[in-house]
Amino acid sequence: MTTNCRRAAKHITAYVDGQLAPRHRAAMERHLARCEECSRRVAEERATKSLVRRVHVAVAAPERLRQQINIMIARESMARAAARDGAQPLPRINPAGA
Ligand SMILES: [Zn+2]
């Protein structure tokens, strides 16, 4: 492993994420063009990322659960805001209208 490889290794994730500055990306591509080992690492990084993405999609929460969680978060933050402002919690709305 050369110094160039060590430098490349540090930036592989950013490179795969497309977050390298154009100058660094060009340097990385030049290195990858002649370094099999780093090219293999880039391929592995890409494979890992797409696997993580697929697993993430597979375990995404069902829509109903997500909505319930969002409601709970909204309630919690309203309750916190009320407590912080010293306000009384909002009265419950009586559906019967009594
Ligand atoms: Zn290399």
Dump pLDDT digits (tens) for 32-54.
999 999 999 999 999 999 888 88
Q: How far is the CA of 17 from the centre of ligand 1 (A)?
A: 18
Q: What angle do CA 20, 22, 23 make, to 5 degrees?
A: 100
Q: How far is the CA of 45 from the centre of ligand 1 (A)?
A: 14
DSSP symbol at 56: H
Contact 45/14 with Cβ under 8 angstroms? no
For helices 36-58 and 3-16, angle between their N-to-C axes, nearest 10 degrees: 30
Q: Where are the domains of the chain?
A: 3-58
Q: What angle do CA 59, 60, 65 make, to 5 degrees?
A: 120
* pLDDT one-digit tens code per residue, 15-29: 999 999 999 999 999
Q: How far is the CA of 20 from the centre of ligand 1 (A)?
A: 17
